């Protein structure tokens, strides 16, 4: 009897932090992982960790804001690994600036990376996901639910991710594709680094989190692996905020 083909995951922003940990966690759960990002050296490191976890890996260098690069990534990954079962839209960028001080070009860049690229990657992967019955994971943010000074572009883009998630879930469920969004709060990652690097600011942030700590990238990754598994097969279209209870606290 022939064995089942290995499941294949595409992970954008796989160079480091949450994206890297998601790639490793998926490898431990039987996925080959196609890693996409702009940093060749960091992607090679992620791929080595995926292989060390016992799975296949491929590296694809490009900018998620480049539609052609995304489409080429999808085609190359499908050819390399034989198909696509899972897409993880994780790439993200943060630009801190007051609304009156942020040039429209910078606002558009954030939206292009954090939202439009998610649409492009999902759309390009659709034929393969439909053929095999797949899952799309969009990484949102707590900031998509709240207003934060000097973070208008990030807040707007992440709110858009939630809306895109719902639309994909409704439209593509009939094709056997599940879509959901995970919205982390403060994580020990590059995007949060500036805020968490200042001791007093970190103290204020942690004081607003009922669990009194930030999350680690691997905690987000392990949550992803559960929701893409058959154990969560009826979960579709929802956004889960993983923030230690920060959003619900008055």
Return the bridge partners of 183, or none: 241
Tell me phi and psi for residue 163, to 5 degrees: -65, -40
Return the bridge partners of 31, or none: 7
Alpha-carbon gap, residue 101 to 135, rounded angstroms = 39
The sign one gets for the Cα dihedral 92, 96, 100, 103 is negative
CA distances in angstroms from 130 to 83, 86, 111, listed in the order given = 11, 11, 27
For the beta carbon of residue 219, count every other beta carbon within 10 angstroms: 16
Q: Does residue 118 have an active-site annotation? A: no
For the beta carbon of residue 226, count every other beta carbon within 10 angstroms: 12
For residue 228 the two structure tokens come to 């893409």
User: What is the end-to-end Cα distance of the chain in Å, rounded?
Assistant: 58
| 3-state class (DSSP) for residue 136 | strand
Which listed residue (118, 119, 154, 186) is catalytic?
Answer: 154
For residue 204 the two structure tokens come to 């204020």
DSSP designation for 97: B
- Ramachandran class of 187: left when φ > 0, alpha when ψ lies in -120 to 50, beta otherwise: beta
- Cite the active site residues: 154
């Amino acid at each position: 009897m022939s064995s089942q083909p290995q499941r294949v995951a595409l992970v954008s922003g796989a160079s480091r932090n949450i994206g890297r940990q998601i790639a490793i966690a998926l490898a431990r759960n039987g996925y080959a992982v196609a890693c996409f990002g702009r940093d060749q050296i960091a992607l090679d490191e992620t791929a080595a960790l995926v292989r060390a976890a016992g799975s296949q890996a491929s590296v694809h260098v490009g900018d998620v804001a480049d539609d052609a690069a995304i489409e080429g990534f999808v085609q190359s990954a499908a050819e390399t690994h034989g198909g696509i079962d899972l897409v993880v839209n994780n790439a993200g960028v943060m630009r801190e600036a007051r609304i009156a001080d942020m040039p429209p070009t910078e606002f558009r860049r954030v939206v292009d990376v954090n939202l439009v690229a998610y649409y492009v990657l999902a759309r390009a992967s659709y034929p393969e996901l439909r053929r095999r019955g797949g899952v799309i994971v969009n990484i949102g943010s707590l900031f998509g639910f709240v207003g934060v000074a000097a973070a208008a572009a990030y807040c707007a883009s992440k709110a858009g991710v939630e809306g895109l998630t719902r639309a994909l879930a409704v439209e593509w469920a009939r094709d056997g594709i599940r879509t959901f969004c995970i919205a982390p709060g403060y994580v020990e990652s590059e995007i949060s680094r500036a805020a968490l690097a200042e001791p007093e600011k970190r103290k204020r942030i942690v004081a607003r989190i009922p669990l009194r700590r930030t999350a680690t990238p691997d905690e987000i990754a392990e949550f992803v692996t559960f929701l893409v598994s058959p154990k969560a097969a009826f979960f579709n279209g929802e956004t889960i905020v993983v923030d230690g209870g920060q959003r619900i606290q008055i």
